[in-house]
Amino acid sequence: MEAASTRKQHARDLFSALPRHYDLVGALMSFGQDPRWRRALVDTVRPSDTDRVLDVATGTGLVSERLALRYGCTVIGIDQSPEMLGASRARLARNPRLSSRVSLVEGEAERLPFGDGEFDHLTFTYLLRYVDDPAATLRELARVVAPGGRIASLEFGVPTQRLLRALWVIHTRVGLPVVGRLFSREWASTGAFLARSVPEFYARYPITQLVADWQAAGIDSVKVRRMSFGAGLIVSGTRGTGQTAGMTVAGSETRGGE
């Protein structure tokens, strides 16, 4: 119980000081790839204009905004950080087209304040490294999605090729803290944290284990798409379709450069 409390509090503390430059620094730390990864995530969901989508760990609302503007769907963005939600509200206020399509809720992914099957689709971004039990969180996420709904996530990945992995290690251990230091002491600490937390997460939860957790949560046809040589990872599937569960791994830089 103490470990759970420590991790949750660390996540809250980590994001409370970051909203001001979050989008810009995220793009810089990923060599400009984070916006492209988020676009690919939005491409994966493909809601209709009558669908309701839940965007978990919405942060500053980038994914919620793109879902609503591209597809005309209704989006509920949920995040446990009031500071990040404040940044998201500021983003929404700049575009009157979003006021009727996107709403924001403060809450935790592990205990969603919604009923079973309440949403047509669901997205989440950079979430599972910050929860105590990823498998239980995936079950909770799947619970609120109607059968046949698409579930998709974006997370940092680790390149599998030896040379690229070595370059990735140098970038995360040296580059991320340096980039963060250009903005604030908090961002410097965040860069150092990411350098540790990403490989540590995959040491505990290899991709095969994560896919098994998705499937155990009732998500079928799970696909893993590696982007930017594996530095970005999109995992997606379909809620309770009854299809034969399986895993598909797509190589990085596929589909016309994605």
Contact between 117 and 146 under an 8 Å Cβ cutoff? The reply is: yes
Pairing status of strand 102-106 against strand 150-156: unpaired
Own/partner contacts of 180-185, CB < 8 Å, gap of 24 or more, are: 180/25, 180/29, 183/21, 183/25, 184/17, 184/21
Q: Sorting pLDDT into bands at 50, 70 and 90, what band is 248? A: low
- H helices of 17-98, in order, are 22-29, 34-45, 62-71, 82-93
Amino acid at 149: G
pLDDT of residue 189: 65
Residue 182, pLDDT > 90, answer no
Q: What's the rounded mean pLDDT across residues 214-240?
A: 94
Closest CA to 140 of 113, 106, 105: 113
Find the length of the chain: 258
What residues contact 40, with CB distance under 8 A and at least 6 apart?
A: 154, 225, 227, 234, 258
Closest CA to 238 of 251, 250, 253, 248: 248
Our measurement of the distance from residue 75's CA atom to the centroid of its chain's CA atoms, rounded to an integer in Å, reads 15
Token code pair at residue 161: 């090729």
pLDDT of residue 25: 62
Residue 144, pLDDT > 80, answer yes
Q: What is the DSSP letter of 196?
A: H
Instruction: Give the residue, 245 or 8, on which the prediction is more confident.
Output: 8
pLDDT tens per residue across span 87-133: 899 888 889 889 889 999 999 999 999 999 999 999 999 999 889 99
Residue 18, pLDDT > 60, answer no
Residue 1, pLDDT > 50, answer no
Instruction: Give the residue, 13 or 100, on which the prediction is more confident.
Output: 100
What residues contact 149, with CB distance under 8 A and at least 6 apart?
A: 119, 120, 121, 122, 238, 239
pLDDT tens per residue across span 48-87: 999 999 999 999 899 999 999 999 999 999 999 898 899 8
Instruction: Give the residue, 190 or 216, on which the prediction is more confident.
Output: 216
Contact between 109 and 137 under an 8 Å Cβ cutoff? The reply is: yes
Residue 12, pLDDT > 70, answer no
